[in-house]
Structures are given as C-alpha cells and as structure tokens.
Structure 1
Amino acid sequence: MSDFLNLSGKRALITSGTKGAGAATVDLFRELGARVLTTARSFPANSSADLFVAADLSTSEGCFTVAEAVRGQLGGVDIIVHMLGGSSSPAGGFSALGDSDWHKELDLNLFPPVRLDRELIPGMIAQGSGVVIHVSSIQRLLPLPEATTAYAAAKAALSTYSKSLSKEVSPKGVRVVRVSPGWIETEASVKLARRLADEAGTDVEGGKKIIMDSLGGIPLGRPSSPTEIANLVAFLSSDRASSITGAEYVIDGGTVPTV
C-alpha cells in the first residue's frame, strides 16, 4: 500500500522553521520527501547551511534575501508555508499600544507573507501550480484585549488578504489556504505557564489552566502539539488536498465557540 502523504520532489519554503510548530513542519516535510528551505533571524546550531537562510522577515530587505535564496538554492518553489508570527506588545489594553507597537505587529504578522508572496507566487503561476499556506490564529476571531489587540488585528488582516489572494490565483493553478491554530504547547508557552503558575502559587498544570481559562476554555482539555499543526499543514500542502483553496482550517481543540 502506498503512503497516504507524499511530498517527494516538492520544493518548500517554511518560514520560522527552527522552533515550535515551524520546526515540526520542517521535520515532517523533510520526512515526506520535500526539499525544504527554512528561515530565522540567526543560524541554529543543528541546521544545514545550504537549506537555511538567516534573515529578518519583518523587513523588506529580509524578505528579498529569502526570495533570492529560494530562487537560487531551490530553483523555484512549490509550497510556501508562512509560519512566522507572534506578539511583543505590552499589556494594558488599546491605550497602551503606541504607533511603534502597531507597526511591529503588522511588520511581523502581515507584511512577510505579503512581500514573499509578491516575490514568489509569479513563479508558481508561470509553472501552473503551487500551494501557499498562511498560518493565522484564532485570535482574529477571539482577540484578548488586555494584550493582543494589535496581533489579532494583524492576523485578521492576513486572513482577509489570504482569501482575496486565493480568488485571484486559484484559477491560475495556485492554491491558497489558511490554518488558524489556537494555543500550541511550545517551549515558549510552557515557559509562560510556569511564570503564571509562580505568580498564582500553583504548579505548571495550574498555569496551563490559567491560559486555557483566558481563552474561554478548550473543550479538548489541552493545547495542540506542534506535530498536530504540522500534520494539518502537510495534508493541506499535498496533492490529497488538491481541490481545497480559499478555505480556513481551525485547529484549536474546540476553543472557538461559534459554528
């Protein structure tokens, strides 16, 4: 019996691929036969130099550097997975967010996909095929006003951009799909759980419950793992999902309470 998923021969760019869900996706894509180039701001100790480019994707120069590496090292691209994202805004609600905070969130969560797509999708159109995965967040639907208003707004903008792009390029052979995770149990999120636990005088599991409660609860009772995110991205990137485009796939353990 043949393998259900096979990415053999596919050329993939996966941004922010050295930690968390990004690293899990890089590992899975390579296991499935894809040739993967990934990025981060600095070289990790365990990466092969010919499949990694150091760049700051929050800048136009960094995006151009990565696009040139894709063209030079892969000779083009079949799959783009925009994993990069995050928030560094201060707590305190909308009034605590200055212009610089808003610009940082947009520069990290919206403009890298916009810039890289503009550089690389024309090549996909020319070859008549390609897949673009935009990793958004359930916070575009469930923003946390104390700390993530700007992040959530940037992800909402990414989602709208992604849908519009899909309508433009799908007739030309390029599928565009959104993946919206909820809370993912990464090293960073466990570190946050520990800090919250210390502040509340409880253990790590208690810290995790604090996070889940802040999201309104997770019916599944736990966060998603990086591997579970990678599994979904791999399926959507594969020929098994060849009629899927313009859609959003939420992977959040049931956190979003609406239909």
Structure 2
Amino acid sequence: MNIDLSGKRAVVTGSTGGIGLAAATGLARAGASVVVNGRGEDRVETAVRKVVDTVPRADVSGAAADLMTADGCKALVRAVPDPDIVVNNVGIFGPKPFFEIGDDVWEDFFQLNVMSGVRLSRAWMPAMMERGWGRVVFLSSESALNIPADMIHYGFTKTALLSISRGLAKLAGGSGVTVNSVLPGPTMSEGVEGMLADMASEQGISIEEAGVAFVKAARPSSIIGRPATVEEVANMIVYACSKEASATTGAALRVDGGVVDTIA
C-alpha cells in the first residue's frame, strides 16, 4: 500500500517527542504538509528540525500553544485555520495512588487529555465536513479498557476519548470525514524510558531489557511481550489518516501488542 497524502495539511498535537513526533514524521513521509505542536517555541523548532532531518523534503512547520487551556487551543486554531487531518495526541500520564489525587490533578488531566481534542475538533471539523474530506484521530490507550489501578485518572480520560471519537464519527457520517481512536499499549516513548531508567540502573540492564521486564510484570497479557516502538504506533495513525482508510471510522484501533485480552 502506497499512502500518499500530498496536498493534505495535518496537525499533530503534542508532537515534540514520542508518538506525536513519530506520527508527524510518518505523515510528512507520506507527503502531507505537517504542523508540529508543543508548548514551547524551542522544543517545537527542535522537533521541526528532527522531522526535516528524517524526511529531507518535508513540508513541516511549527505552532507553539499550551493546549491545556481554551485560549491555547484558540491560538492553535488561529495559527492553523483549515487542516485536513487532526491527530489529537497531546496528553499527560503518570502513576499516582487514587486517594492522593487531588481535584487539581483530575482537572489538569481532563483539560489536556480530553478537552484539547474536544475544542480542536469543534473548531476544525465543520470545515472538513463542508469540504467533504477529513481525518480526525484521537490517541486513546489500552488503559481505556484495561484501567490501571495506579493511574485511574489517566484511564478515565482515555475511556472518555473512545466515547467522543465514536460519537463524532456518527456526527460526521456520510460527510467524507472519518474519526477514529488509536489505542497504544506500553510504548517505548521518552516518557516511558524515563520511568524505566531507575529500574535499568538498579538492575544493571539496558532500557530495552527493562521495558521487556516491565511489560511481563505489569502487562502479562501482552502477546508480543515487549513495548511497542513509537514508529509502530505511528504506522497505525498514518493509516487512519490515509485516503485508503475511507471505510474505517468510529473504530478503536488497537496497537497494544495484544494486552487487552479480547477477540473483539
């Protein structure tokens, strides 16, 4: 399959690193004009250079905006008025005992992980529907279905994205606009590598070996028995954004390595 997104403009939120950067790179490789987003100008500029280094002829630009706030979302919409593809990737995570999670933490997770995608989809989808083509992808997680006891606040936000994306897919039905969720499992992003660094140091093993040990201990149902790479997750995102995925909408597309133990 040759995915060609020439002539399409894509925005990937939270794309200065990890899955977001890999998705931006994959979309650029497929020919899309890509807008990289992050909170700080410096990190955005660095990410733009990384994409260009990997895809030398990439048409890539940056737009710094803090999407935890309504004003930040409005700033990004002003900077990128009419994208064809939106990847709602930005989010935060981190383990924390439920009884120690204050209202402020719940609010932060909700505003960034959920409301950023709501606000951007609300702003950009009507024009896509009028044009008769568009792709919206929400980055959910296997934690949306397999709620982790040590990250209930995170799992909640990812479950919410499944509802939102399914509802928006129905809303856009017949318009040529598709809306899907992508559900990664444990993925070797910079954030996860940071979490594994102490384990690797204490046990005298590599980060990759620590990743395998983590998956076997914390996600024993994993079929692949290792974390995915960010590129493996990005491949699914790029497909969901492609012209070839025109009959895929309202779907929860799992890239979880088989962690969620179901055949459906």
Question: When the two structures are superposed, what TM-score results if normalisation uses the length of structure 1?
Answer: 0.90
Q: Which residue of 2 aligns with 1:129?
A: 133
* Contact 1:178 1:247 survives alignment (8 Å): yes
Secondary structure of 1:220's aligned partner? coil
Separation in structure 1 between the aligned mates of residue 24 and residue 209 of structure 2, nearest angstrom: 31
Structure 1 residue 9 displacement after superposition = 0.7
After TM superposition, the structure 1 = structure 2 runs for residues 167-206 of structure 1, keeping only pairs within 5 Å, are 167-199=170-202, 201-204=203-206, 205-206=208-209
Secondary structure of 1:107's aligned partner? helix
Separation in structure 1 between the aligned mates of residue 213 and residue 107 of structure 2, nearest angstrom: 29
Structure 1 residue 86 displacement after superposition = 2.1
Structure 1 residue 216 displacement after superposition = 2.6
Report whether the alignment pairs 1:25 with 2:28: no
Separation in structure 2 between the aligned mates of residue 115 and residue 128 of structure 1, nearest angstrom: 21
After TM superposition, the structure 1 = structure 2 runs for residues 53-132 of structure 1, keeping only pairs within 5 Å, are 53-71=63-81, 76-88=82-94, 91-92=96-97, 94-132=98-136
Structure 1 residue 198 displacement after superposition = 3.7
Report whether the alignment pairs 1:36 with 2:34: yes
Q: Which residue of 1 aligns with 2:7?
A: 9
Deviations 1:164-211 (A, max 9, x none): 111111222211011000011122212221212345x35235532442
Q: AA paired with 1:189?
A: V
Structure 1 residue 236 displacement after superposition = 1.3
Separation in structure 2 between the aligned mates of residue 208 and residue 10 of structure 1, nearest angstrom: 36
Q: Which residue of 2 aligns with 1:156?
A: 159
Identify unmatched segments of 5+ residues in structure 2. 50-59
Separation in structure 2 between the aligned mates of residue 114 and residue 32 of structure 1, nearest angstrom: 26
Superposition RMSD in Å: 1.8
After TM superposition, the structure 1 = structure 2 runs for residues 46-57 of structure 1, keeping only pairs within 5 Å, are 46=46, 47=48, 51-57=61-67
Separation in structure 2 between the aligned mates of residue 135 and residue 115 of structure 1, nearest angstrom: 15
Q: Which residue of 2 aligns with 1:227?
A: 231
* Contact 1:196 1:210 survives alignment (8 Å): no
Secondary structure of 1:254's aligned partner? coil
Separation in structure 2 between the aligned mates of residue 95 and residue 4 of structure 1, nearest angstrom: 49
Q: Which residue of 1 aligns with 2:57?
A: none
Report whether the alignment pairs 1:214 with 2:218: yes
* Contact 1:5 1:235 survives alignment (8 Å): yes
Separation in structure 1 between the aligned mates of residue 80 and residue 182 of structure 2, nearest angstrom: 23
Structure 1 residue 122 displacement after superposition = 1.1
Secondary structure of 1:57's aligned partner? coil
Percent of counterpart pairs with the same letter?
A: 33
Q: AA paired with 2:31?
A: G
* Contact 2:185 2:228 survives alignment (8 Å): yes
Secondary structure of 1:235's aligned partner? helix
Secondary structure of 1:191's aligned partner? helix
Q: AA paired with 1:35?
A: S
Q: Which residue of 2 aligns with 1:242?
A: 246
Separation in structure 2 between the aligned mates of residue 211 and residue 41 of structure 1, nearest angstrom: 30
Separation in structure 2 between the aligned mates of residue 207 and residue 221 of structure 1, nearest angstrom: 12
* Contact 1:195 1:207 survives alignment (8 Å): no
Structure 1 residue 217 displacement after superposition = 4.2
* Contact 2:176 2:246 survives alignment (8 Å): no
